[in-house]
């Protein structure tokens, strides 16, 4: 176990790691720095000098002070993400043995988790396009790829055909901040995409150098609005609904992530596939249903 650094040193090490190793944006790193600077000022006032002197009570009382200062719940939740990230980093680097934030719950933000389609609802939705027609095959390919890979709608419609590797079963995605990631795609999506690429795209292609993967019959790249509308149309035809919300590309992306987690996928792997810079975002958007948790305990606990 390495000697615990001073609080100032600990924060500097953590922020450097965010910039250099994790490649977070300057704006994000500065936001972390502001939240941690506020914590440091309070800890120094309490007589804390080194990271291993910080207790769970220190962190809890700091969060209570933020509440007293009338910081919004989401600002307090963001501060806890920064603080938790700092101490997780120190534990991972063996500067600390115990994370003082481990048992602290995030403040309620009032943010609703996006709706999730059940697996049967997704199967019903994906079965709607008529794959024996050019439009239907294109629509099916777009829907299958979204559910297979969790792409954002902007990533989907902006996908160049050169970034699809059907042989390897992966797609290279350029996400927020121009960061790229490789995402695997399953057999069902690969088969539908192969049919679209072989049968439909060449028929609609107007320019040989057109990079877009998904085209309209006039040879133009599909738009976000176009995919949004066709997905909603298929959902209505299938009778697939979400309480108080419409079925959208983001709902399909969120369903992809939730179903992975419910089937035992590692949260870090889901984070990479979604293109989230921070694991806290993945934790927010990939909740596991209570019924699923109960079922897992009953199935796997040794004293079930």
Higher-confidence residue: 73 or 60?
60
Higher-confidence residue: 202 or 182?
202
Tokens representing residue 128 in the block: 């709607």
CA distance linking residue 128 with residue 137, whole number of Å: 10
User: Residue 101: CB partners within 8 Å, gap ≥ 6?
Assistant: 56, 59, 80, 83, 84, 87, 88
Least confident span in 114-128, 241-255, 259-273? 259-273
pTM recorded for the entire structure: 0.59
* Residue 289 confidence (pLDDT) above 70: no
Supply the residues annotated as catalytic.
152, 176, 250, 253, 276, 285
pLDDT tens-digit readout, 98-130: 888 887 765 554 444 556 888 899 999 999 999
Model confidence at 300, in pLDDT bands (50, 70, 90)? low
- Mean pLDDT score, 179-201: 92
pLDDT tens-digit readout, 221-243: 999 999 999 999 999 999 988 77
* Residue 13 confidence (pLDDT) above 90: yes
Torsion sign over Cα 195, 199, 205, 208:
positive
* Average pLDDT score over the chain: 84
Model confidence at 27, in pLDDT bands (50, 70, 90)? confident
Q: With residue 184 as reference, give the H or E element that holds it.
A: strand 180-184
Phi, psi of 159 (to 5 degrees): -70, 120
Q: State the pLDDT at residue 296.
A: 52
- Mean pLDDT score, 260-266: 75
Where would I find the H helices in 175-275? 187-195, 201-204, 224-238, 249-262, 267-274
Higher-confidence residue: 172 or 301?
172
Q: State the pLDDT at residue 277.
A: 64
- Helices and strands of the chain, counted as H and E runs: 14, 3
Is residue 282 within 8 A of residue 256, CB to CB? The reply is: no
- Mean pLDDT score, 158-177: 90
Q: State the pLDDT at residue 285.
A: 45
* Residue 175 confidence (pLDDT) above 60: yes
Higher-confidence residue: 132 or 278?
132
Q: State the pLDDT at residue 104.
A: 76
Q: What separation, in Å, do the N-terminal and C-terminal C-alpha atoms of the chain show? A: 38
* Residue 151 confidence (pLDDT) above 60: yes
* Residue 5 confidence (pLDDT) above 80: yes
């Amino acid at each position: 176990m390495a000697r615990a650094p001073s609080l100032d040193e600990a924060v500097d090490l953590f922020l450097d790691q965010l910039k250099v190793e994790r490649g977070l944006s300057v704006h994000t790193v500065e936001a972390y720095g502001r939240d941690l600077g506020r914590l440091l000022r309070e800890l120094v006032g309490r007589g804390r000098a080194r990271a291993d002197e910080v207790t769970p009570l220190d962190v809890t009382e700091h969060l209570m002070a933020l509440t007293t200062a009338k910081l919004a719940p989401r600002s307090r939740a963001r501060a806890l993400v920064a603080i938790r990230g700092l101490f997780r980093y120190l534990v991972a680097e063996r500067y600390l043995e115990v994370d003082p934030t481990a048992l602290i719950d995030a403040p309620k933000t009032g943010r609703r988790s996006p709706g999730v389609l059940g697996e049967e609802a997704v199967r019903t939705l994906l079965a709607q396009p008529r794959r024996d027609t050019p439009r239907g095959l294109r629509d099916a390919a777009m829907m299958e790829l979204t559910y297979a890979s969790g792409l954002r709608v902007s990533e989907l419609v902006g996908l160049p055909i050169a970034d699809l590797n059907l042989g390897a079963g992966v797609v290279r995605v350029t996400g927020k901040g121009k960061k790229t990631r490789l995402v695997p795609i399953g057999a069902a999506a690969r088969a539908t995409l192969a049919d679209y690429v072989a049968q439909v795209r060449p028929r609609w292609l107007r320019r040989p150098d057109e990079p877009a993967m998904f085209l309209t019959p006039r040879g133009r790249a599909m738009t976000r609005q176009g995919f949004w509308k066709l997905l909603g149309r298929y959902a209505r035809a299938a009778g697939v609904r979400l309480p108080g919300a419409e079925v959208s590309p983001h709902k399909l992306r969120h369903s992809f992530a939730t179903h992975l987690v419910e089937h035992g996928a590692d949260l870090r792997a889901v984070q990479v596939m979604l293109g989230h810079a921070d694991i806290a975002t993945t934790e927010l958007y990939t909740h596991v249903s209570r019924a699923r948790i109960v079922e897992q305990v009953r199935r796997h606990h040794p004293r079930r």
